Chain A
Amino acid sequence: MLFGRRNTRDAFERQAEKVFPSVFGTALRLTRSREDAEDLAQEAIVRAYDAYERFDGTNFKAWILRIVTNLYINRYRQRQRGPQMGSLDEEGVLEPMGDETDVPDRQLFDELVGEEIEEALARVPDDFRLAVVLSDIEGMSYQEIADITDVPIGTVRSRLARGRAMLRKQLLAYAKREGYVKEEDIIDLP
């Protein structure tokens, strides 16, 4: 029995340690505060270990990221400052991406560094930011994101498209401010 528990702990730690950068990274990008992210990630690990016996064994990373997301929604979201859902309606019509300039995006964002992208991402409202983080940083599939965030796949697709459009606008504004993009290249910068 004792060895059984020891094995459970070892198995959990092996899996959790492997996905912990994703756990902490998602927590950090959700809370936008290192202190809160540490707290959230630790709490998620403890909760996950507590519930490990109920884990179905199929997708540990998605399972633990769902715990992170739920914890964030229940505990931190209320006191987070900064952009939330904003005025954007999830069902509203979104302009196609890539209309603002004739210069290819690759060239536009070439000068940007990771920190600047993180800052731009932090300005995207929660639900859209989470979809972009899970898809483009954590590499999760639509089905996994739907499971993690507990919404239908259609909502995931919608949030992802809007989140990317918002992120691109933030990056474009940032590139303009920093002089990475010439004024004459920009046709209709929001």
Chain B
Amino acid sequence: MKDHLDLHAFADGELSAAERAEVEARLKTCAVSSKTFESVQNLKSVVGEKVEPVTCLKTWAKCTERLDELEKRRKAERFVSKYAWSMCASIALMIGFVGVFNRAAGGSQVATGDVARMVAGLSPLSQRAPQDRSVDMSQWLRDVSQGAPVGAQANALQPVSYSQGVVDNRFVTIVNFQDASGQVSLVIVKGAERVDGMTPQVGRSSYNAGQIDQMNCVSWTERGFSLLLVGDRPHEELGRIADTIRGQ
């Protein structure tokens, strides 16, 4: 009998009645088989009796925690799969509503970040400003900006170039001025009554101060226009130039 497998099966109670009878008969006559069978039985009982049960209460507790987590995840997945369309529709509606609200509430204001974009967007359309000193610069400035409130003393500054166009549905004019200290830019945005991202300028309550593209800037709003003066100069000096432009 190859490897005495039948003796193991006999010890394990895995033989049919006929096979059992055959093995029992052989055990009576074969000493080797008899000793092997005894050895199998003893080993089984030694292992069965002496191996101690494992302690696993803590591990079971961890298992139930894992099951709780799985349940929570399933619950969330069920919720999402059940209400996915309605959630998508709600989010789309919310985005639409917020967009409409922003349009309504924020239409009359412009952010400093937008101004930088406006300046960059208009630059390629730059045109030369009139160089003739006899031209009334204040009038010219009002003309190119579609009526921005700029004053008579603007003649003290020399415009070099200007650009104009429509950005974000707003008419924008940029005029670059030159004086002994260099260039400053006046950005005129029609229809914007507030500039976000600026703080009131110290000592000059009629202006707000801030920075655009790492350059100092002062802004003011008047008669439906937002005006920003941007240049690489201190806010105080920009404020004085702004006074000149406003005719104050």
Contacts and interface: CB of A to CB of B under 8 A. Distances in A.
Contacts of B131: none
B23 interface: no
Contacts of B53: 21, 25
Contacts of A117: 46-47, 50-51
Contacts of B240: none
Contacts of A13: 64, 67
Nearest to B65: A42
Interface stretch (B6-14, B120-128, B148-156): B6-14
A41, A99, A105, A167 interface centre (most CB from chain B within 10 Å): A105
Nearest to A46: B66
A17 to B, nearest CB: 6
A113 B43 contact: no
B27 to A, nearest CB: 13
Contact of A104 (B42, B54, B60): B42
Interface in B23-71: 32-33, 35-36, 38-40, 42-48, 50-54, 56, 59-60, 62-64, 66-67, 70-71
Interface residues of A, number: 49
A114 B71 contact: no
Given A25-B53, A105-B46, A157-B8, A93 B3 contact: yes
Contacts of A50: 70
Contacts of B45: 106
Nearest to B33: A96
B50 A113 contact: yes
Given A20-B56, A49-B70, A104 B63 contact: no
B14 A141 contact: yes
Q: Is the interface of B mostly helix, strand, loop or mixed?
A: helix
B44 A161 contact: no
A99 B59 CA distance: 42
A182 interface: no
Contacts of B72: none
B18 interface: no
Nearest to B59: A38
Interface string A96-134: 111100001110010011100110010000000000100
Interface in B207-242: none
Interface string A133-169: 0011100011000000000000001101110100110
Given A96-B4, A109-B42, A25 B50 contact: no
Given A24-B54, A41-B59, A161 B5 contact: yes
Contacts of A157: 5, 8-9, 14
A46 B63 contact: yes
Given A105-B38, A106-B42, A132 B47 contact: yes
A104 B3 contact: no
A106 B67 CA distance: 44
A180 to B, nearest CB: 12
A177 interface: no
A105 B42 contact: yes
29 contacts: A9-B67, A16-B63, A20-B63, A21-B53, A28-B54, A45-B63, A49-B70, A96-B4, A96-B32, A97-B36, A97-B40, A98-B38, A99-B35, A104-B38, A106-B45, A106-B46, A109-B46, A113-B50, A117-B50, A132-B47, A135-B12, A136-B44, A137-B48, A137-B51, A142-B9, A157-B8, A157-B9, A164-B40, A168-B43
Interface of B: 2-5, 8-9, 12, 14, 32-33, 35-36, 38-40, 42-48, 50-54, 56, 59-60, 62-64, 66-67, 70-71
